[in-house]
Amino acid sequence: MVEDASDAASTVMLTSGASGRINALLSLRLLKSLWLLINAFLLIFLLPFRGKRSAEKGGGKEEKPQGKVVRVPAAMVPRKSAAAAVDKEVAARRALAINRVVEDDNGDGESVRDFSLLVSSRGDTIFTQSWTPAKVKVSGRYNDFAKKLNANGFKVHGMDWIGHGGSDGLHAYVPSLDYAVNDTKMFLSKVLAENPALPCFCFGHSTGGAIILKAVLDPKVKQRVSGVVLTSPAVGVQPSHPIFTVLAPVFSLLFPRYQLSAANKRGIAVSRDPDALVAKYSDPLVFTGSIRVRTGYEILCITTYLQQNLSRLNVPFLVLHGTADSVTDPTASQKLYDEAASIDKTIKLYEGFLHDLLFEPEKEEIMDDITAWLISRL
């Protein structure tokens, strides 16, 4: 969320998204890999029945085991709890996220950075942050952007959605993106309660943009938001073949956490700045592995929903997209602009730019465009 420091006149909320290539999830290589998994699953399932049939053919005689049989109590058998492993990973990510906030808060003196933990209706802990101009009082990778907004008098709040950053959940696993949409609404209510009567602008990048869009399609949210800024939003995802749209729900049900290890051997080029790529793909808080099947399916579902409801959008918005983006479709952003019912709408397409616009060599230009749009609507 963004707040004007000089007269406490506005607030801006940020949420980002995964930069995994969804097409990799729906590729022919993944289909072959999952088919092998299904075959293995069926083989394991059918083996007991084959054994039973063989016993029946043998006259029903049961051979007694030779020698002594030692039965070990179940309590003595060590078991690694998957839930405990996830909790340990979450704790490590959260500690790192908190440490970054604490270290940065002792930095330039221009912004005051803080964090808080928000518990969702499901009981999940969501990690949130705020950046406040120091003369009065945003998440992780967007620290520079948040401070840029601070310098222009805006207060910024950021949220790591479930399975990301310092929030609960297996890294990059999203059982339902509606969880993230509902968490965004809850976080928005919290921020507005702390900043009453202030204009509120929401910012979303990639999948975060899709989450913001679905949230503001709710009439109760729409009336509380003054505008939306979207960079490279996941409005359209085009599978490599239509058959994958049919198969995705099945794979999502059978192998929700499955990752295709060969789908992302090298980091996807999301910026033309080599240093930005190194920073992204070496950051333990940023998931850079292969996209999980359920998460990819959820992204496919939310983009389908948005494509069917673009004409319902009637909040002021600014959408920015690079024409060379290979992660999300820039033509879908153009379709959003063309079909949205909003009277106040702006689109900026940057020729040759990639997915992470705020980490491109021209990031200052991008931030200036966003800041100017926000200021003109105060």
The number of beta carbons lying within 10 Å of the beta carbon of residue 83 is 8
Across 59-63, 84-88, 252-256, 272-276, least confident range: 59-63
pLDDT for the residue 261: 56
pLDDT for the residue 375: 96
CA distance linking residue 341 with residue 319, whole number of Å: 14
Distant-in-sequence, close-in-space partners of 303: CB < 8 Å, separation ≥ 6: 210, 234, 235, 236, 237, 332
From 215, 287, 202, select the one nearest 15 (Cα to Cα): 202
Which residues form the domain of 15? 11-34+83-375
Examine the pLDDT at 4 and tell me if it is beyond 70. no
pLDDT for the residue 36: 64
Half-sphere exposure of 61 (CA within 13 A, CB side): 5
CA distance linking residue 137 with residue 326, whole number of Å: 38
**What percentage of the chain reaches a pLDDT higher than 90?**
53
pLDDT for the residue 132: 87
From 97, 268, 113, 118, select the one nearest 180 (Cα to Cα): 118
Tokens of 288: 């850079």
Q: What is the DSSP letter of 99?
A: H
Examine the pLDDT at 216 and tell me if it is beyond 60. yes
Is residue 148 a part of any domain in this protein?
yes
What is the β-pairing status of strands 200-205 and 11-15? parallel
More confident residue, 110 or 32: 110
More confident residue, 220 or 105: 220
Examine the pLDDT at 345 and tell me if it is beyond 80. yes
**What percentage of the chain reaches a pLDDT higher than 70?**
72
- CATH code, domain with 214: 3.40.50.1820
- Confidence bin at 355 (pLDDT 50/70/90): very high
**pLDDT tens-place string over residues 229-282:** 999 999 987 665 667 677 888 889 999 998 865 444 456 789 999 999 888 888
Q: In the chain, which ranges are E strands? A: 11-15, 111-119, 125-133, 155-159, 200-205, 227-231, 317-322, 345-350
The answer to whether the CB of 328 falls within 8 A of the CB of 303 is no
Is residue 5 a part of any domain in this protein?
no
Amino acid at 310: L
Is residue 267 a part of any domain in this protein?
yes
CA distance linking residue 354 with residue 352, whole number of Å: 7
Is residue 270 a part of any domain in this protein?
yes
Is residue 348 a part of any domain in this protein?
yes
The whole-number average pLDDT for the span 142-159 is 91
From 202, 255, 243, select the one nearest 374 (Cα to Cα): 202
pLDDT for the residue 307: 95
Examine the pLDDT at 80 and tell me if it is beyond 90. no
Examine the pLDDT at 110 and tell me if it is beyond 80. no
The answer to whether the CB of 109 falls within 8 A of the CB of 150 is no
Examine the pLDDT at 208 and tell me if it is beyond 90. yes
Examine the pLDDT at 200 and tell me if it is beyond 80. yes
pLDDT for the residue 236: 87
Interior angle at CA 292, CA 289 and CA 293, nearest 5: 150
Examine the pLDDT at 52 and tell me if it is beyond 80. no
The answer to whether the CB of 155 falls within 8 A of the CB of 134 is no
pLDDT for the residue 203: 97
From 8, 377, 11, 372, select the one nearest 200 (Cα to Cα): 11
Is residue 120 a part of any domain in this protein?
yes
pLDDT for the residue 50: 45
Examine the pLDDT at 85 and tell me if it is beyond 90. no
pLDDT for the residue 225: 96
Is residue 93 a part of any domain in this protein?
yes
More confident residue, 8 or 363: 363
Q: What is the DSSP letter of 206?
A: T
Distant-in-sequence, close-in-space partners of 214: CB < 8 Å, separation ≥ 6: 177, 181, 302, 305, 306
**pLDDT tens-place string over residues 287-322:** 888 888 899 899 999 999 999 999 999 999 999 999
Q: What's the number of domains the chain is made of?
A: 1
**pLDDT tens-place string over residues 361-378:** 999 999 999 999 999 999
Distant-in-sequence, close-in-space partners of 190: CB < 8 Å, separation ≥ 6: 118
The whole-number average pLDDT for the span 115-121 is 92
Distances (CA, A) of 44 to 49, 51, 260: 10, 12, 21
Is residue 47 a part of any domain in this protein?
no
The whole-number average pLDDT for the span 2-16 is 56
Reading across the β-sheet that carries 125-133, which strands appear in turn?
A: 111-119, 125-133, 155-159, 11-15, 200-205, 227-231, 317-322, 345-350
